[in-house]
Structure 1
Amino acid sequence: MQNRVLLVEDDDELRQLLARYLTNQGFSVREAANGNDGLSLALGQNCDIVVLDIMLPDISGLDVLRSLRADTHLPVVLLTARGDETDRIVGFEVGADDYIPKPCNPRELVARLQALLRRIAWDQSVEVDAARTYGDLRVEPSHRRIYQNDKPVELTATEYEVLQVLLAHAGSVVRKTDLMQWALGRRLEAYDRTLDMHISNLRKKLGNDDPPRIETVRGLGYSYRVPR
């Protein structure tokens, strides 16, 4: 079955270019030229993943993302202006799973989408017997859900993947290069702060423990400490 992509981009030329390329790579593509139309299509469960431009003519892509996160865990890849660090940081705080700077390389976009969809599909295909607990956290892999003290923790698809890797290696250091590959499905590039932003969001959502449950091991990576 084809993966369904919703492409929300107001630049007609770029949207049509990306749509053609995605279609040629085997995706089923739906298009929206503004935020309201994109939001309606996404909430109507007409897609498996969203490619969302931040700069839209009616409502901003960030506002679209906020509305999506209130109702769905649909994976979202943002299209951001090259070099605009602020948009990327806010995007991750709101709940983006990944980003690509514009003008984007269609081949890289396809690779990012495929990596994200593969991780989700693999998790859903794995048979699990029961939930797993790590201190105050309970993981239900079959539903891709995390509970803290029996209360659900709202995570994006990528935040869930990052946390899963850290929990699987709790008490040990996971190198940033490995965590990037295992959780995001791509290599760690110089000056890429995507992983750091996801870690920051996880810390906020899981609480500011002292000492921190997700420890930064300088020069190496991250380690998850199970609270007692």
Structure 2
Amino acid sequence: MTTSTALLLADLTGVAVFAASGASAAVAKRLDLFGVAFVGFVAALGGGIFRDLVIDEVPPLAFADWRYAATAAVTALAVFWLHPQLARLRTTVLVLDAAGLALFTVTGTLKALDARVPAVGACLIGMLTAIGGGLGRDLLTAEIPVVLRREIYAVAALVGSVTVALLYVTGQTGPAPLTAAAVLVFGLRLIALRRRWSAPVATLRPPRTGGADPRTDREW
């Protein structure tokens, strides 16, 4: 199997798992058939469309290659019809999302590097490709986007994109090293969920009760 074929399979697999993630989230919100398909499309193709527009590939691959839209559609519809057999939808969404995050981190970073984007920019594009679909899914299903919560999400994608960039500059872009990079992102995301790792957040002092503090409050 050539590297280009492996990357195409990884990209289509990422489309499928993100479409399943989006469709599962839409089913959990009890959206209709169109809503489930639409959220699945956005989750599956949103990040890749953003990536292609940034690197000036027009039309984006999601529109130029029918296999991308077909994969997203078939997967979303399958989830809609088979969802009674999908136990614990929230867990399903999280695992599928982690898989999509890993695959799109690798393919997004590689595509940016192949387009002659400098390594730092390629890492950012890879990260944004990975988180874009999940961001759209969460907004459409009225959830606070995962990337804006305390959970380790974008950081996992950034670690993966940096790893891919390092492999690229050292010439290690075969299927095995790239698979290892995807497994790194997937594992980091799942471990973060399991161990409840989170980024620090600002702490807010509780409001004071009682009278005014003469040292800080003054009458004007």
TM (normalized to structure 1)? 0.31
Which structure is higher in strand share?
1
Which structure is higher in helix share?
2
Looking at CA atoms only, which structure, 1 or 2, has the larger radius of gyration? 2
TM (normalized to structure 2)? 0.31
The structure, 1 or 2, with the larger RCO (C-alpha pairs under 8 Å, 6+ apart) is 2
